[in-house]
Amino acid sequence: MPGLLSSPVCLTVIWFLSWSLRPSRAQIQTDEVSGVQYGRLGSNVTLACGKSQTRIPVVWHLNQSSALPWHKVTSDGSLVLLHTDHSAQGNYSCYDSQGLLLHSVKLRLGHPPGLLSISCQVPNHTHVRCSWVDSVKTFLPAKYNATLRGNGHEWRPCIVDITRKHCDVYQPRYWVTIHTLRVTETNGLGSETTYGRFRLHELLKPDPPESVLVKELEGYSKRLYVSWNSPSSWPLHDAFPLVFHIRYRPQGSMYWSEIYSDVSPVIISDALAGHLHQVQVRARDEVNSDSQWSEWSPLLLVRPWEVHTTTEPTEEPLPDDDDYPETSTAKTHKPEAEDEGNLGLVILLVLFSVVILTTVLSLIFVVWVRQRRRDHLAIQELASMVKMKSMPI
Ligand SMILES: *[C@@H]1O[C@H](CO)[C@@H](O)[C@H](O)[C@H]1NC(C)=O
Ligand SMILES: *[C@@H]1O[C@H](CO)[C@@H](O)[C@H](O)[C@H]1NC(C)=O
Ligand SMILES: *[C@@H]1O[C@H](CO)[C@@H](O)[C@H](O)[C@H]1NC(C)=O
Ligand SMILES: *[C@@H]1O[C@H](CO)[C@@H](O)[C@H](O)[C@H]1NC(C)=O
Ligand SMILES: *[C@@H]1O[C@H](CO)[C@@H](O)[C@H](O)[C@H]1NC(C)=O
């Protein structure tokens, strides 16, 4: 027998057996640990200790620790977690009385999906992007399946971007009046399907015009030059022309002036000379009046061309386009000059009145002092006269 045990054949067999058994046992353990069980937050969650409930009593651990949340263990060794909250999540393991691992499971808690709130953007005739937000926070990873169809047509997949929670359809049946989007959210606790109905031609909303440029026109104190590009997401076919809406106002003014144009650039010819102006441009499908205006392009600031001298505006006339090129510039400079003049006058008046007041006051004082001295002398004279009278002669 010892000879047999020590025989190389037997050793090889034993080594082979232990080698082949070890990974298989490890395999079982990792499989069991990688198992995830989902439970509803706030409910009682039951975790079974594996499939066979033979080896009771059992001991449960959470994250390798024997400290467990509020719970009870049933007669078959299952762990019932009562009124669970987020802190009850983690790796649960059950062991038999010898400390042998029987089962391990990861518990994740959350809520089943609720209805979604869906909205769609149509930046051109060939692209629909729909995005959604959850109405309930599920705390659980979810998958989405989205399909779009035009009324009377088949469902077509809407390609989902799971991290950004949106989906894209290219080449939709744009001319079908009503489209339906169907989004199914699925997580470990269930699934929910939400339907949204849309009229694509009403959702059509181009991106804002790009590379908007505003600048002064040299020699023109009331003109501004505005140019832009169509949004790059808009197909530049003549079949889908855009109309552009330009608005501008002197900074600080409440009222916008407007221009509509099919083409870039436009010249604004009634700017307020010498003032900083705000300018913005937006775009819309020219044919489809149900469609939406794009957002406004970012606010740009520009000042019309000015004569950069400090001399009086009485030089050679400016080559302006309106009837009063001179007065328009003069107008804006005059109030400031007048203000300065007025201020000087006021200061002069105040100084003058102070001088007058001081003079008058000092005159009064002098007169008063002299009067007093005179009175004093008179009293002294009187007194001496009385004295003299009373002297015995
Ligand atoms: C959870 O279990 C406790 C104790 O067994 C029980 O009183 C309670 O009603 C249960 N709650 C739910 C939501 O089932
Ligand atoms: C839970 O188990 C997973 C899978 O084995 C492991 O990656 C993770 O680190 C464990 N977490 C804790 C807190 O033990
Ligand atoms: C257990 O580990 C998980 C991470 O795997 C953690 O979220 C949870 O809070 C831990 N629970 C306890 C009671 O330590
Ligand atoms: C999405 O749903 C459609 C119809 O219900 C189905 O045919 C398709 O296989 C689903 N796709 C995925 C990725 O689940
Ligand atoms: C329509 O817009 C999308 C993105 O907004 C863009 O990727 C696509 O190229 C555009 N289509 C055309 C024909 O320009």
Tell whether 218 and 294 lie within a shared domain. yes
pLDDT at 106: 93
Within a domain: 16:
no
pLDDT at 1: 41
Cis peptide before 57 (omega within 30 of 0): yes
Tell whether 199 and 215 lie within a shared domain. no
Tell whether 149 and 223 lie within a shared domain. no
| Single residue among 54, 81, 110 that ends a domain in this structure | 110
Tell whether 134 and 173 lie within a shared domain. yes
List of long-range contacts for 317-321, beta carbons under 8 Å, 24+ apart = 318/219, 318/221, 319/219, 319/220, 320/220, 320/221, 320/222, 321/220, 321/222, 321/223, 321/269
For the Cβ of 327 lying below 6 angstroms from any atom of ligand 1, the answer is no
Within a domain: 363:
no
Q: How far is the CA of 63 from the centre of ligand 3 (A)?
A: 6
| Single residue among 252, 282, 302 that ends a domain in this structure | 302
pLDDT at 178: 93
Tell whether 135 and 84 lie within a shared domain. no
Q: How far is the CA of 31 from the centre of ligand 1 (A)?
A: 31
Using CA atoms, how far apart are residues 289 and 24, in angstroms rounded to an integer? 69
38 strand-pairing partners? 108
Q: Which ligand is nearest to the CA of 185?
A: 4
> Which residues of the chain are modeled with pLDDT < 70?
1-34, 52-55, 237-238, 309-344, 346-347, 376-393
Pull the structure tokens for residue 326. Answer: 């001179």
Pull the structure tokens for residue 230. Answer: 């169509």
Per-residue HEC secondary structure of 319-355 comes to CCCCCCHHHHHHHHHHHHHHHHHHHHHHHHHHHHHHH
Within a domain: 86:
yes
Using CA atoms, how far apart are residues 295 and 282, in angstroms rounded to an integer? 6
Residues 6+ apart with CB under 8 A from 276: 250, 251, 301, 302, 303
CB atoms within 10 A of CB 125: 21
Q: How far is the CA of 29 from the centre of ligand 3 (A)?
A: 20
Residue numbers of the domain that contains 243: 210-302
Tell whether 131 and 189 lie within a shared domain. yes
Tell whether 106 and 182 lie within a shared domain. no
Tell whether 149 and 106 lie within a shared domain. no
Which residue, judged by its Cα, is nearest atom 6 of ligand 5?
233
Which residue, judged by its Cα, is nearest atom 13 of ligand 3?
87
Give residue ranges with CB within 6 A of ligand 3.
Answer: 62-63, 87, 89-90
Which residue, judged by its Cα, is nearest atom 10 of ligand 4?
145
CB atoms within 10 A of CB 123: 17
Within a domain: 374:
no
Using CA atoms, how far apart are residues 64 and 60, in angstroms rounded to an integer? 9
With b meaning 16 or more CB within 10 Å and e meaning fewer, what string describes 222-253? bbbbbbbebbeebeeeeebebbbbbebbbeee
Pull the structure tokens for residue 273. Answer: 């000379």
Smallest CA-to-CA distance from 38 within 29, 46, 30 is with: 46
Q: How far is the CA of 90 from the centre of ligand 1 (A)?
A: 21
pLDDT at 327: 32
pLDDT at 34: 54
Cis peptide before 265 (omega within 30 of 0): yes
Using CA atoms, how far apart are residues 83 and 69, in angstroms rounded to an integer? 10
Within a domain: 351:
no
**Given the CA of residue 146, which atom of ligand 4 is nearest to it?**
1
pLDDT at 381: 59
| Single residue among 263, 283, 302 that ends a domain in this structure | 302
Using CA atoms, how far apart are residues 308 and 313, in angstroms rounded to an integer? 11
Which residue, judged by its Cα, is nearest atom 14 of ligand 3?
63
Q: How far is the CA of 59 from the centre of ligand 1 (A)?
A: 22
Within a domain: 320:
no
Name the domain count of the chain: 3
> What does the pLDDT look like over 160-219, one tens digit per residue?
999 999 999 998 888 888 999 999 999 999 999 999 999 999 999 999 999 999 999 999
Using CA atoms, how far apart are residues 241 and 272, in angstroms rounded to an integer? 32
pLDDT at 385: 53
Tell whether 101 and 120 lie within a shared domain. no
For the Cβ of 74 lying below 6 angstroms from any atom of ligand 1, the answer is no
Tell whether 35 and 84 lie within a shared domain. yes
Using CA atoms, how far apart are residues 41 and 187, in angstroms rounded to an integer? 14
Task: Give the length of the chain.
Answer: 393
Q: Which ligand is nearest to the CA of 67?
A: 3
Using CA atoms, how far apart are residues 278 and 82, in angstroms rounded to an integer? 63
CATH number at residue 48: 2.60.40.10
Within a domain: 140:
yes
Within a domain: 106:
yes
CB 158 within 8 A of CB 167: yes
Q: How far is the CA of 199 from the centre of ligand 4 (A)?
A: 24
Q: How far is the CA of 130 from the centre of ligand 5 (A)?
A: 14
> What does the pLDDT look like over 341-382, one tens digit per residue?
566 676 677 777 877 788 778 877 777 777 777 776 655 655
Query: What is the chain's percent helix, strand, coil content, to nearest 5?
Result: 25, 35, 40
